[in-house]
Amino acid sequence: MVIEDMTESPLTNELPRQYLELLVTERADDLAHAQADAAGFEARVKSGMVGNLYDNLIEQIQGENDQTVVQTWLNERVQQRKMYVEALRECHQLCIDRAEEGLNFKASTEKKSLVLRFLPINLHVQDMWVGPTADLRSQRSRRTSPNVRVYPTVTVGAFAAHCFKFRHNGSILSLRSTLQKRSLSKVQSDVSDKSNIDEVDTLRLHTWCFVVSRWHLTTRFDMCFSQALTTLVTSFCRQLEYSLQHPTDRTFLNTIASIGFLFQVESLLSTQGKEIGMLEDFSAAVDALKHVTFVLDTSPPAHLPSTLLNLHMKNTTLPGVVSVRSSKRSTERKLPRM
């Protein structure tokens, strides 16, 4: 007999919540640097010593009008990062609120929601239980009977920035390609004759566009990686939970001990229309998961700040995953400052 279980996971809220805590700190640091740049430039303008800040741009400033343009741009850069940090805090609080209300599922109808952008879409743990009918009657017997096998799969929507859409080459891979081209163009401009006013304006435009595109890439990657990380951890925890409840089957533990966790993904997306943009976001997010490291903590549960008690069962003495904790070491994927 075969029985299928589709289970929502509390990790849908818990992992983004922890990830956002780390992200707020990092992006607040970006904000502080942007504020220092703006304040420093203003101070140097007042003292008549403009320089050492975006040298390839500012060394070309010809007069007061140019200085005003740069100061305005630096202030807008500060405001943009300030708004983003505030949005991250709002998303973090929403994860807490949803968890308290028991809302552990983000439907596809919510995929364009800005406040839910860091949560994976349609995430389920799908278990296919195969065994004798008598052994499949209860959740406990399914997990303890030697005659039952389970084939778990995590189903989820594409890791993509749906709320930002996919027009105008806005995916992560497209933005990276754009940055590479602009970086090459900047190098070519640096070796050209800078005495030409048109070339000065072009260089300034390239510098601004480069910084803006890099920030767009950062914010897009932030949300896609959160979705991918949550799915990865959910899959790992389900496999680990099965291994703990079937101590005679050491396949999973032997595998992760020898070569690590094998995370296989399959997609039903095509390369037509906006789906190519989803695939490009998805591909970049999955590739970044190679930087994630799992550390198993076997300390007694009483010593752990338990956030998730028995991920897929309640009120049971069966061994399981007690809690999941993210740290900067395991999620770090920093880009250069913008």
pLDDT in tens, 188-234: 555 555 555 555 556 566 677 888 889 999 999 999 999 999 999 99
Which pLDDT belongs to residue 173? 95
pLDDT at position 208, please? 77
Q: Print the SS3 string covering the chain.
A: CEEEEEECCCHHHHHHHHHHHHHHHHHHHHHHHHHHHHHHHHHHHHHCCCCCCCHHHHCCCCCHHHHHHHHHHHHHHHHHHHHHHHHHHHHHHHHHHHHHHCCCCCCHHHCCCCCCCCCCCCCEEEEEEECCHHHHCCHHHHHHCCCCEEEEEEECCCCCCHHHCCCCCCCHHHHHHHHHHHHHHHHHHHCCCCCCHHHHHHHHHHHHHHHHHHHHHHHHHHHHHHHHHHHHHHHHHHHHHHHHHCCCCCHHHHHHHHCCCCCCCCCCCCCCCCHHHHHHHHHHHHHHHHHCCCCCCCCCHHHCCCCCCCCCCCCCCCCCCCCCCCCHHHHCCCCCCC
Residue found under tokens 């100061």 = 71
pLDDT for position 200: 53
Comparing 301 with 148, the larger pLDDT belongs to 148
pLDDT at 249 over 90: no
Average pLDDT over residues 86-101: 96
- pLDDT level of residue 308 (50, 70, 90 thresholds): very low
Confidence of residue 327 (pLDDT cuts 50, 70, 90): confident
Taking residues 177-194, report their average pLDDT.
Answer: 67
- What is the mean pLDDT of the segment spanning 50-64? 52
Please say if the pLDDT value at position 56 is more than 60: no
Query: Is the pLDDT reported for residue 311 higher than 70?
Result: no
Q: How many angstroms separate the CA atoms of 84 and 93, rounded?
A: 14
Average pLDDT over residues 171-195: 73
Please report the pLDDT score of residue 107 as a whole number. 96
- Residue-averaged pLDDT of the chain: 83
User: pLDDT-derived band of residue 338, with 50, 70 and 90 as boundaries?
Assistant: very low
- CA 185 to mean position of chain CA atoms: 29
- Percentage of residues in the chain having pLDDT higher than 90: 52
Q: How many other CB atoms sit within 10 Å of the CB of residue 1?
A: 12
- CA-wise closest residue to 156 among 105, 115, 109: 105
* pLDDT tens per residue across span 30-53: 999 999 999 998 888 888 766 544
What's residue 1's pLDDT?
A: 93
pLDDT at residue 307 tops 60:
no
The whole-number average pLDDT for the span 303-329 is 63
pLDDT of residue 55: 52
Strands 149-155 and 2-7: unpaired
Give CA–CA dist 175/212, Å, rounded.
11
Q: Which of 158, 223, 153 is nearest to 9 (CA)?
A: 153
Residue 222's pLDDT is 97
On the question of pLDDT at 310 being above 90, the answer is no
- Find out whether 214 and 182 touch, Cβ atoms under 8 Å: no
Handedness of CA 296, 302, 308, 311 (dihedral sign): positive
pLDDT at 197: 52
Residue 77 has what pLDDT?
A: 93
| DSSP bridge pairs for 149 | 130
